[in-house]
Structure 1
Amino acid sequence: MQPLTIIMYHYIRDFTRTRYPGIKGLDLAGFRRQLDYLQSRHTIVRVRDVVAAQRGESGLPADAALLTFDDAYAEHYALVFPELYERKLEGAFFAPVDPVCHGKLLDVNRIHFILAANAAQGGDPEEISAKLDAALREAEAGWNLEPVEAYRAQWAHPNRFDDAETIYIKRMLQTALPEALRHRIAVDLFAHFVSMDEAAFAGELYMSEQQARLMQGCGMYFGSHGASHHWLNRVPREIQEAEVDRSLEFLRRIGSPVDDHWVMCYPYGGWNEGLLDVLRDRNCTLGLTTEVATALINQHDPLLLPRFDTNDFPR
């Protein structure tokens, strides 16, 4: 048993220069301080070190930690990559194909920026949820939905990061509604609160394939985060296979070592046994979840390694 602390990052921004200070992310100065903290208490290891430990080829330091970055944001290239490169650290980046290669805005990001833009304009989440509830009442009969009150009773409960109203908006637009309906509502809300030009917005939000290739060539690691950022535990096997295969094609194009080892990072942390079969068929080496715990190499299933959130550490 070899303990490994895996840390998960998403938004890392210079909040002194952003148009959306309401995005819940880590400020660049806080990221630097957190790296100082982690380096003082851990040995930052590379993906290939973890793979070697999993294969029994070598061991990990007792204080090993792995840095992971989800969703391929532009700031991962502009801010995170230079900081890691200067410190001679490897980051493991997980890029969904459609945003990076095709400029498609993910629903999860629509939701984040709807909330942030509304807050920047002096609004509160109730303004968004009122429009959401109106859309649900309009769609209720045609989509065979439950009453709004039933959804609120199930989903409007705070967690360690968000208040009840914010969680309600996120859960309804991320998981509770049929995918086509929640996408349609998210697009309408984004146009109202943020921008009608999604392509331009996506071009600013995500890194490019060329930038990912450069990072990979300069010692960063890139693994799979699917193609469209689906909940992979809620789609049929043929979509699971297509999502994984499209991702592997992208990784090969940018030079990731998929023929020797590759890592799957589950969007939203969603997985099921069918997906694990798809990954095993394609010789996936490691899989990263959103379960909060220390990963125990050679004890945990290698395709179900837990991760801590950046908020679990001082910044």
Structure 2
Amino acid sequence: MKIVMYHYVRESVKNLPFFRYLSFSNFKKQLDFFEANFGLVSFEEFCRLKTEPDFISCLKNKILLSFDDGLKEHFSLVYPELLKRKALGIFFMPTAVLEEEKALCVHKIHYLLGHGGGGGKLLDLALKLVEPSMCESKNAYLFEDYYDLLDDEESVKNFKLLLNYNLKEEFKEEVLSALIKKCGLSEAQIYENYYLNHEELKIMSANQMLIGSHAHAHINFLNLNAKEEAKEVQKSFEILSFLNPTIRTFCYPYGEFSRNSRTILQNLGVDFAFVSLDEYKKDIDEEDLRLNPLTLSRYDCNAFKFGKASMG
């Protein structure tokens, strides 16, 4: 079984000329390609894997679809398309956006880049705001090559690296707020119509889509201690408890897990958890389900035909 990961699946947005996303048209073409060549995993088929890991042999090369970040287009565009095809989608929700009316830092970064284009100007602005003492030193080396495989220009990669990984968590909101203001944007403008809400999640869950946790505030677990990480995961499941899904699923923010992650997820009764690291890319077999159910590998959608990102 192949697990495929998506983020933005949308139509063009006029005020974001440099935003990177998979067009809805290409998404449908990719699903056609998957159905013709592999087949799509259904809700019933995936549920059987919880108690019958050997059933995966019947799924052969079928595709399991997963969607990160709880984005609005996952309800308006993706969900109806999956219903038509009787395919399962697992949607991973960062629950902070259900509790607070503000965008996550990771999405503010995407929005800034989508609005302003190349990262050169943004990087220059950010470097003027960031003091050396505001940056991580202990774990910074872990992320040095994180964006090497992306086809972004170097300034964009460095901007993402600085804001997502080098800047300490306690300074991210402050720096991003200053950048947003300097670019003539508002934080309310970014948050508006960006994320799924409670009612949309209820509808999707009632129609055999799985809603999983993407932690609470989408913080990289490698920058958290065990207590902080456990709080991030537990809080997210508490907020999502109104859904009571058949299977409890989790997706690591930024696709990365710590040495504490497995124990934390096991203690919270998580059945399956998903990563998105290059060194873990592989098809899933029975051995994975039995021995590594909390580090299941995913492919990015751009690894397949029609999966290349559009811009603007």
> If the TM-score is normalised by the length of the shorter chain, which range does it land in?
0.7 to 0.9
Question: In 2, are the aligned partners of 1:155 and 1:171 still within 8 Å (CA)?
Answer: no
Q: Which moved more, 1:127-136 or 1:303-312?
A: 127-136
Quick one: distance in 2 between partners of 1:144 and 1:265? 26
Q: After superposition, what is the alpha-carbon deviation per residue over 1:247-266, rounded to whole angstroms, capped at 9, x for unaligned?
A: 21233212423xxx311100
Secondary structure of the structure 1 residue equivalent to 2:55? coil
Deviation at 1:214, TM superposition (A): 1.0
Amino acid at match of 1:240: E
User: Residue 88 of structure 2 aligns with which residue?
Assistant: 90
Deviation at 1:224, TM superposition (A): 1.0
Question: In 2, are the aligned partners of 1:264 and 1:287 still within 8 Å (CA)?
Answer: yes
User: Residue 28 of structure 1 aligns with which residue?
Assistant: 24
1:1-315 map, 5 Å: 4-15=1-12, 17-46=13-42, 49-50=45-46, 52-53=48-49, 55-56=51-52, 59-60=55-56, 61-119=59-117, 124-136=118-130, 139-140=131-132, 143=134, 158-193=148-183, 195-196=185-186, 198-257=187-246, 261-292=247-278, 293-300=281-288, 301-315=292-306
Question: In 1, are the aligned partners of 2:213 and 2:251 still within 8 Å (CA)?
Answer: yes
Amino acid at match of 1:211: E
Amino acid at match of 1:128: L
Deviation at 1:66, TM superposition (A): 0.4
Q: After superposition, what is the alpha-carbon deviation per residue over 1:164-219, rounded to whole angstroms, capped at 9, x for unaligned?
A: 111100010001121122332122112222522x2343131111111111111122
Amino acid at match of 1:195: L
Deviation at 1:243, TM superposition (A): 1.5
Q: After superposition, what is the alpha-carbon deviation per residue over 1:78-137, rounded to whole angstroms, capped at 9, x for unaligned?
A: 111111112221111001101134222111111111111112xxxx3211111112223x
Secondary structure of the structure 1 residue equivalent to 2:260? helix
Quick one: distance in 2 between partners of 1:171 and 1:192? 20
TM-score, normalization: structure 1? 0.86
Question: In 1, are the aligned partners of 2:97 and 2:195 still within 8 Å (CA)?
Answer: yes
Amino acid at match of 1:114: L
- Percent sequence identity over aligned pairs: 24
Quick one: distance in 2 between partners of 1:307 and 1:223? 15
Deviation at 1:33, TM superposition (A): 0.5
Q: CA RMSD in A?
A: 2.3
Q: Which moved more, 1:235-244 or 1:301-310?
A: 235-244
Question: In 2, are the aligned partners of 1:69 and 1:92 still within 8 Å (CA)?
Answer: yes
Question: In 2, are the aligned partners of 1:13 and 1:28 still within 8 Å (CA)?
Answer: yes
Quick one: distance in 2 between partners of 1:33 and 1:70? 20
Question: In 2, are the aligned partners of 1:51 and 1:285 still within 8 Å (CA)?
Answer: no
Q: More relative contact order in 1 or in 2 (CA 8 Å, sep 6+)?
A: 2
Amino acid at match of 2:282: T
Deviation at 1:155, TM superposition (A): 6.9
Amino acid at match of 1:291: L
Deviation at 1:47, TM superposition (A): 5.7
Quick one: distance in 2 between partners of 1:264 and 1:22? 30
Secondary structure of the structure 1 residue equivalent to 2:113? helix
Question: In 1, are the aligned partners of 2:71 and 2:196 still within 8 Å (CA)?
Answer: yes
Cα distance change of structure 1 residues 48 and 280 upon mapping to structure 2, 3 Å threshold: farther
Secondary structure of the structure 2 residue equivalent to 1:44? coil
